[in-house]
Amino acid sequence: MRIGCVQFAPQVGDVDNNLNRADAVLSRANPEELDLLVLPEMAFSGYNFKSLEHIAPYLEPSGSGITALWARTTALKYNCIVAAGYPEKVDPSPKWPTGPEYYNSAIIVNRDGETVANYRKSFLYYTDETWALEGDTGFFEGYIPGLGHTSMGICMDLNPHKFQAPWHAFEFAFHVLEYSSNFVIVSMAWMTREDSRMFSRMPNEPDMETLTYWVTRLEPLIRAENDEEIIVVFCNRTGTEDEAVYAGTSAVVGIHDGEVKVYGLLGRGEKELLVVDTDNPPYAKLLYRPDADSSEPAQGELQKMSQSPAPGQKPPSNSQETQSSPKGEHSKEPLSSTKPPTSQAAIGNAMNNTTATSSKRTRPSPQIQIPQHPQRREPVSATSATSAKSTVAAIWQLGGSQ
């Protein structure tokens, strides 16, 4: 499957220029034979609105605003499925008689320009809460011709609900397992924890701390014994909006049998179209090695699998190893949904807290397994806390195939 991610830098309220920015990225790449094109969260409105009054001029009617029009036009032009985020306004109707409702949403349009899904973000970040309601139907799941059994989330959906649910609840990841989805789309406006000045100095480098965190939040998928690979598309934006600095690092990964294969990856500041073909060998893989007996974080190694990436795939440009590590005591508080536990002790405490649960939905109980050793696996129930300290670190291993 050929997948494209449009990573660009929209600005708040600058809709016309944001449309032009996305079109420019596509025009430069001139992609051929795409199956799916994904855009970030609130792609054309921008994200960092302060209130309902602030965002009101840019709200779009359900499935029929500027984002839907762009998605349909682009789907027909490139003969592909298009997914894009937008701020949705639902006018009063017999179903909603009390007045308009507002959601942070994403639309999926098929190759014929027909809307096949309209998903409303389930877990709201603080910025969303100033104007939007939580979607009331749960995370999206459904069969989409050309993609298969598909789940979709938006940014904060990866996190524990309101940052209050236990770390090990893994609501979105267990949703993917519950519905046996083989394809996952996550549209994002995810900010970095890095200082903006330091962050902007390495635009071609991926934000490995952020990528590591995304993968960590899909831990149940890594532990599950699935017959098929699960493809996950992380489509993030880049750039800045006031104090918000976005992490970029859009990626397409495949998860199967305890491994995370990386088919393609963009840098934190790149304004480009990431194009990958999941029928081709991956560029690298992240080996997941939790160690219940170690006091150190579990370590994943992102190992290069070929001497040169496939077209459209973006390895980091440095030739040295780069390890993701916890922030020091002077680090800034996160500005977005990147707020994980900041210490190994905090992660352990969260994962062993079995009393609190998310109020959103009942978690399924598939049998999953956690890789403890290349030759040994121990089953873990989805409803019990794992004793493994399973945060993931990431290392770019720039050697030959292994």
DSSP code at position 363:
P
Of 269, 271, 266, 270, the C-alpha closest to 199 is: 269
Maximal CA-CA distance, the chain = 62
Cα 157 off chain centre by: 9
Active site residue 360: no
Cα 158 off chain centre by: 7
- Determine which one of 60, 88, 141, 155 is catalytic: 155
- Determine which one of 121, 261, 271, 360 is catalytic: 121
First to last CA, the chain: 25
- Determine which one of 5, 41, 219, 270 is catalytic: 41
Residue 348: CB atoms within 10 Å: 19
SS3 38: strand
Active site residue 235: no
- Those residues whose C-beta lies under 8 Å from the C-beta of residue 83, and which sit 6 or more positions away, are 36, 37, 38, 39, 71, 106, 107, 108, 109, 152, 185, 187, 235
- DSSP secondary structure string, 98-164? TS-EEEEEEEEE-TTS-EEEEEE-SS--HHHHTT-PPPSS-SEEEEETTTEEEEEEEGGGGSPGGGT
- Those residues whose C-beta lies under 8 Å from the C-beta of residue 136, and which sit 6 or more positions away, are 120
Active site residue 229: no
Q: Give catalytic residue positions.
A: 41, 121, 155
